[in-house]
Each structure stands twice: as structure tokens, then as C-alpha cells.
Amino acid sequence: MLSEIEQVLPSEIEKRSFEIITEELKEMGKILCPETELIVKRCIHTSADFEYADSLVFTEGVVEKAKDAIRRGVPIITDTQMGKAGINKKRLAEYGSEVLCFMSDEDVAEMAKKNGTTRAVASMDKAAALGREAIFAVGNAPTALVRLYELIKERKINPELIIAVPVGFVNVVQSKELILSLEDTPSIVARGRKGGSNIAACICNALLYQM
């Protein structure tokens, strides 16, 4: 059994992984758009799930719009500390940008309790109250996406990008479709039930690594 294990140096593991992903996508007959190819492959690399080649939906020109926003120092706001932890903050800081997450803030907990909402909803309200441009990376809470949709419709916020990839069964699919229904909001959406904070972070990193 041990003799069947390929010996790969640690420095070569990622390179070899992407070679395998490229080979298997070719065998499956999947042709990726050059603009979004790296993002799709990084999601597959993170999850070992080739369904992302079909489920990821990109609005027109979203990659360039996202990179332009990062270059302008627009912050990334996540719905989990895990998502925040996974984003390459050193690379982000090169553009004067940062990652913010309000889920653990005391005022967010108080606001959620007072209004009878989730912390994710309260954190989106706090983000809107900042009055700043923002990129939203949502990998866990569909209620965050629903609240973003409402805030956009109420013209209280105008995101530079929404990464909509929460994972789960309750209101996950529906919340993602709400984001896709927004005609003028750049978005990257993982249709269906799959996603997660790790996927949200890897999409952010894939954008950064293209810069």
C-alpha cells in the first residue's frame, strides 16, 4: 500500500494538485472561462469537489470589478471569523485594504437581541451604517444575504461585490437566488446547497492571487 503513495515534496503539492484538477476537468470535458478559471480551480482545490465547475455563477465583468475595488482599498466584510481568518490579509494590506467581521461585536449581539434577528442580520446593518464601500464574503449565513438584498433594495447600501456561498439546507438556495436577481450588483454565487466560509475565503484569495 505504501509503495502506491506518490512521493511529492511539500513545495510541490499545490502545483501537483492544480495539475490533477486541470487534467480531470479536461477528461470531464469542462471548458472554463479564462477570466474565472483560477477562482473555479481554487474552489475545487479547497473542497475536492468538481461540482463548483458548474455551480459557480459570475456576473459579467465581476472579476475585474472586484480587483479594481481591492486596488482602491475597499474592505472585505465576512459573516464569520473563520472566513476572516482564511483570507490573506498580508496580501490585502498591500492595497490598503482589510478584512472586517462584526459577528463577535457586543453592539451587534445587543442589536440582534433587541430586534429579534440573527447576529448575521445585525452585522449587515452595522456594515451598512459605516457608509463605506465594501465587498461582502458570505459563507455561512443565508440571513446575511437576505438582509443584504433588502438593504440594496432600500438603497441603503451598494456593494462592490457579493460573494454568496453559504452552505446548508434552510433558505440557502433561496438566499443565493435573491442575490442573483440583483441586476446591478456584481456577484459570485455558488448555486445550490454547497459552499462554506472556506470557499468564501478561497474566492477572495483567488482574486488577490490574480493581482
pLDDT in tens, 112-166: 999 999 999 999 999 999 999 999 999 999 999 999 999 999 999 999 999 999 9
Task: Give catalytic status of residue 45 as yes or no.
Answer: yes
Sign of the four-CA dihedral 167, 53, 174, 183: positive
Burial of residue 157, with CB atoms counted within 10 A of its CB: 0-12 exposed, 13-18 middle, 19 or more buried: buried
Model confidence pLDDT, tens digit, residues 7-27? 767 768 899 999 999 999 999
DSSP codes, 74-143: PPEEESSHHHHHHS-HHHHHTTT--EEE-TT-HHHHHHHHHHT--HHHHHHHHHHHTT---EEEESS-HH
Annotated active-site residue in 45, 84, 126, 176: 45
State residue 121 phi and psi, 5-degree precision. -65, -45
DSSP code for 190: E
Query: Distance between CA 140 and CA 143 in Å, rounded?
Result: 9
What pLDDT score does 122 carry? 98
Model confidence pLDDT, tens digit, residues 83-96? 999 999 999 999 99
The average confidence (pLDDT) of the chain is 95
Q: How confident is the model at residue 65 (pLDDT cuts 50, 70, 90)?
A: very high
